[in-house]
Amino acid sequence: MEISQSVDEVYEYKQFNLCINCVSQVSDGRNGVKERSRYQREALPGEPKCVICGRYGEYICDETDDDICSLECKQTLLCRVANKGMRAAPAPPQRLPATDECYYVRESDNNSGYQDFSSYQNELVRRKLEINVKGDVIPAPILSFSSCNLQQRLLQNIEAAGYDMPMPVQMQAIPAAMIGKSLLVSADTGSGKTASFLVPVISHCANFRLEHLPKQKKPLAMVLTPTRELCIQVEEQAKLLGKGLPFKTALVVGGDAMAGQIYRIQQGVELIVGTPGRLIDLLVKHDVELDDIMMFVLDEVDCMLQRGFRDQVMQIFRALSQPQILMFSATISQEVEKMAASMAKDIAVVSVGKPNQPNKAVKQLPIWVESKKKKQKLFDILTSKQHFMPPAVVYVGSRLGADLLSNAITVTTGIKTLSIHGEKPMKERREIMQSFLVGEVPVIVATGVLGRGVHLLGVRQVILFDMPNSIKEYVHQIGRASRLGEEGTAIVFVNEENTNLFPELVEILKSSGAAVPRELINSLSTVGSFGRGCKKRKHGC
């Protein structure tokens, strides 16, 4: 079987086991990688030797580049490396890692030197899955969760969550984070970025707790996100994946009583998930020791390093003692890349697919609607059997707008609609989300609080009533219509109020193959000359 064929099968999630076998057979050229060191022959003069037992070093350990003879010695090697502080998770002694692409195999009888089949395969996997990497010593992508030396219980939890195999972003980000690398990762909305950081975080925390028994349990990891809703979701997922392990979490968001949050942290938690504002509040008023935090995650990093959040995030970061940093978003600019590089030495940059592009699974339907006609257009859509696909989210630009529009929808169309935004109390926001997610309310009108990160189960239609004020937010908002590649639709109202976004919007619509309204194209030429005129005047002053 050709290698490319087997990689295709991985991508299509078919015959997964067969595919893994194919990869290891190609690697070994015989019957798979040797499990035990005693099955390996002695090294002949001039041949590479296993760094652990001295037998023939038939393989190269992917994570350390050392010569090794078998899975057994790889495991010993990784444990030694981990103990020296590289933080590769030590595997439980009874379990050998699965035989897969984690091994390079050398052609020993070849006078022309070594042929590195495995790096070729890794590159092939990366190319097929559109994984791009920048940086030193980035481990090979994994093809299964079991090839990462994760705790058995964590693997069970992953399976119970329904994750049969890693998503492309997880394939690359998890092994890289597991060896302690700081990462800046971009991948489509809804592509599985959350587990890409939670799996290594949980694995590290649980290992650390099993190995160290301090008098006082201080937090070991921290995840910051921009909204309470996203924090709640991340914490829930963390609890699910960390079930049965020495891994407890604390949610630190505004709107919930601080006393409860501080009490929970004092009881001993491994992970804090929070929004920057509330965390600073808590750190200023209470004595929370952060010196054991070794993993610092910024979800929606471009938003977190934007003015507004940046100072708070940096204040928290400076209170930590040089943790590993994991940063994720679907949209990452060069400026964010520069800032990320200044926060961590030797940061690795991973991107899956084309960065900053909308999820291909979301069909974009831009409609030119004058401002005063937007409400009527929305009512038409919501009352059309053909066009309304509940549950749906309608995005607006202001809190007041959200309240007014949700009332108007209910009154005019009779469809039960609620609004959600940052001014509503936390309890109410939780209840609104609950009734939307269980299907009691088919339409929700939201501001940016539901724009990023949150997965709104069952939502396949979003309507951008007001265009957000950047194309980045546009990518995130329309991304709510699809999770894991399921098809969704984004209806987008545009008009001359959004001229500042036209050039980028047209580019994005064209590159996604979406129809571009004639008015938008016409306005674009006007925008161009108007923009240039403004610039000239400014320079003239």
Ligand X SMILES: Nc1ncnc2c1ncn2[C@@H]1O[C@H](COP(=O)(O)OP(=O)(O)OP(=O)(O)O)[C@@H](O)[C@H]1O
CB 185, min distance to ligand X, A: 9
Helix (H) or strand (E) holding 407: helix 399-413
Please choose, from the candidates 134, 136, 120, the residue with its C-alpha nearest in 3D space to the C-alpha of residue 352.
Answer: 134
Q: Which is nearer to ligand X, 173 or 467 (CB)?
A: 173
Q: Which of 55, 217, 239, 483 binds ligand X (CB under 6 A)?
A: 483
Q: Which of 57, 192, 219, 451 binds ligand X (CB under 6 A)?
A: 192
Q: Which is nearer to ligand X, 90 or 391 (CB)?
A: 391
Q: Which is nearer to ligand X, 169 or 378 (CB)?
A: 169
Q: Which of 48, 90, 139, 190 binds ligand X (CB under 6 A)?
A: 190
Binding span for ligand X by CB under 6 A among 112-120, 190-198, 312-320, 368-376: 190-198
Helix (H) or strand (E) holding 60: strand 59-61
| Residue written as token pair 């652990």 | 52
Q: Is 16 in the site for ligand X (CB under 6 A)?
A: no
Please choose, from the candidates 129, 141, 204, the residue with its C-alpha nearest in 3D space to the C-alpha of residue 176.
Answer: 141
CB 359, min distance to ligand X, A: 8
Please choose, from the candidates 43, 68, 37, 73, the residue with its C-alpha nearest in 3D space to the C-alpha of residue 56.
Answer: 43
Please choose, from the candidates 232, 278, 238, the residue with its C-alpha nearest in 3D space to the C-alpha of residue 431.
Answer: 232
Displacement of CA 248 from its chain's centroid (Å)? 21
Q: Which is nearer to ligand X, 6 or 196 (CB)?
A: 196
Q: Which is nearer to ligand X, 451 or 517 (CB)?
A: 451
Q: Which of 43, 138, 195, 516 binds ligand X (CB under 6 A)?
A: 195
List binders of ligand X among 326-385 (CB under 6 A).
330
CB 276, min distance to ligand X, A: 17
Q: Which of 34, 55, 193, 248 binds ligand X (CB under 6 A)?
A: 193
- According to DSSP, the residues that pair with 273 across neighbouring strands are 223, 251
Binding span for ligand X by CB under 6 A among 28-36, 166-174, 366-374, 384-392: 166-174
Q: Is 472 in the site for ligand X (CB under 6 A)?
A: no
List binders of ligand X among 169-188 (CB under 6 A).
170, 187
Q: Which is nearer to ligand X, 43 or 221 (CB)?
A: 221
Q: Which of 11, 16, 163, 368 binds ligand X (CB under 6 A)?
A: 163
CB 470, min distance to ligand X, A: 15
Q: Which is nearer to ligand X, 207 or 227 (CB)?
A: 227
Please choose, from the candidates 362, 364, 305, the residue with its C-alpha nearest in 3D space to the C-alpha of residue 329.
Answer: 305
State both tokens at 390: 């509940």
Per-residue x/- track, 441-460, ligand X (CB under 6 A):
------------x-x-----
CB 483, min distance to ligand X, A: 5
Residue 397: Cβ-neighbour burial (10 angstroms; 0-12, 13-18, 19+): middle
CA distance 165 to 185: 19
CB 161, min distance to ligand X, A: 6
Binding span for ligand X by CB under 6 A among 18-26, 40-48, 189-197, 219-227: 189-197
Binding span for ligand X by CB under 6 A among 133-141, 349-357, 478-486, 488-496: 478-486
Give one DSSP letter per residue of 451-491, joined into a string.
TSS---TT--EEEESS--SSHHHHHHHHHTT-STT--EEEE
State both tokens at 372: 């005063």
Judged by CB under 6 A, how many residues of this single chain contact ligand X? 19
CA distance 360 to 486: 10
Residue 281: Cβ-neighbour burial (10 angstroms; 0-12, 13-18, 19+): middle
Sequence-ordered alpha helix ranges (H) in 82-219? 117-128, 152-160, 168-178, 193-211
Percent helix, percent strand, percent coil in the chain, to nearest 5: 45, 15, 40
Q: Is 162 in the site for ligand X (CB under 6 A)?
A: yes
Sequence-ordered alpha helix ranges (H) in 243-368? 258-268, 276-285, 301-304, 310-318, 334-343
Interface ranges with ligand X (CB under 6 A): 162-163, 166-167, 170, 187, 189-195, 330, 453, 455, 479, 483-484
